[in-house]
Amino acid sequence: MYELTNLTKTYETKRGTISALNNVTLSIPTGQMVAIQGPTGGGKSTLLQMLGALERPTSGTVALGDDVLSAMPDARLAEIRARTIGFIFQGFNLIPTLTAQENVESALAPLGIARTERIRRATEALTKVGLGERLNHHPMELSGGQQQRVAIARALVKEPSVLLADEPTGNLDEQTRDEIMALLEGLWRDEGLTLIIVTHDSAVAKRAERRILLKRGVVTEKK
């Protein structure tokens, strides 16, 4: 369960101070599927980075279960990201020189898992997302939808409790978007994940149990 209390994040720029999040207090129960919507520059990605232990707040706290992320050292945050949180990015963010299987394996490397076990789990994860036949393909040899499936497999292979997706269908056509969303929904249900999706797309947001609107750094619940 996520607990965000009075969370504020500001950035200093040449044009002055930008307030990305403004005193956000939010609770997300374990296993919930949440969509975060809002205009560009509203603070959606910043909020996702706080949830993903990638960024520290200027003030306030972020807690994931018993772990207060905002107060942890970098090394411990890296450990939590390695074990507990899975990420999916709009641009897929696959490593171009590695094959699909190796990309998925890269998420297991920080856990110190033996190579044979890594290969087994990566193969299983790719098969689960429908890419069992594309294990040795490089990202450039895959379509956008397939690349996002590899990214999903990479996020899920370590069996995280939280899956954070930043515009996961932003670079995909409608049909592929629906396929990816169907896949994510299926995994959410089957794995019992907490799934938090940042999206501009209302069609994607409507699939979520809960919708949060983030405007100028302020959270508003959407019915």
Partner 1 sequence: MFGTYLYRELSNRRKQTAIVASGMALAIALVMIVNGVAAGVRDAQSAVLASIYGVGTDITVTTEPAIPPEGEQEQRQQPRFEFGADDGTTQDGTTALSQSRLVSAVGSTTFDSTALNTAAGIANVAAATATLTLNNVSFSGEIPNGGTSSAPDSEPGSAPEGGRTGPDGAGGSAFSVDTFTVTGIDVGGESVGPLTSVELVDGRSFDDGDVDANVVILDVDFATTSALNTGDTLEIGGEEFEVIGTVTSVSADATTASNTYVPLNTAQRVSGIEGQISTIYVQAVSSTEIATVQSSLQAALPDSTVKTQEDLASSVSGSLSTASDLVGKLGTWLSIIVLAAAFLISVLFTTSGVARRTREFGTLKAIGWSNGAVVRQVASESLVQGAIGGLVGVALGLVGIAAINLAAPVLSANPAVAAGVGAGGGPGGGRFGEAATTTVAATDVALQIPFTFGIIGIAVALAILGGLIAGAFGGWRAARLRPAEALRSVA
Q: Residues interacting with partner 1, by CB under 8 A?
A: 45, 49, 52, 54-55, 74-75, 78-79, 81-83, 86-87, 89-91, 93, 95-98, 102, 105-111, 115, 118, 154-155, 158
CB of 194 to partner 1, least distance (A): 17
Nearer to partner 1, 122 or 131 (CB): 122
Minimum CB separation of residue 43 from partner 1 in Å reads 13
**To the nearest whole angstrom, how small is the minimum distance from the Cβ of residue 75 to partner 1?**
6
Among residues 207 and 217, whose Cβ is nearest to partner 1?
217
Question: For residues 157 and 207, which CB has a smaller minimum distance to partner 1 in the complex?
Answer: 157
105 versus 201: smaller Cβ distance to partner 1: 105
3-state secondary structure the chain: CEEEEEEEEEEEECCEEEEEEEEEEEEECCCCEEEEECCCCCCHHHHHHHHCCCCCCCEEEEEECCEEHHHCCHHHHHHHHHHCEEEECCCCCCCCCCCHHHHHHCCCHHHCCCHHHHHHHHHHHHHHCCCCCCCCCCHHHCCHHHHHHHHHHHHHCCCCCEEEEECCCCCCCHHHHHHHHHHHHHHHHHHCCEEEEECCCHHHHCCCCEEEEEECCEEEEEC
Nearest to partner 1 of 152, 207 (CB atom): 152
* Shortest Cβ 48–partner 1 spacing (Å): 10
Question: Smallest distance from the beta carbon of 1 to partner 1, in angstroms?
Answer: 21
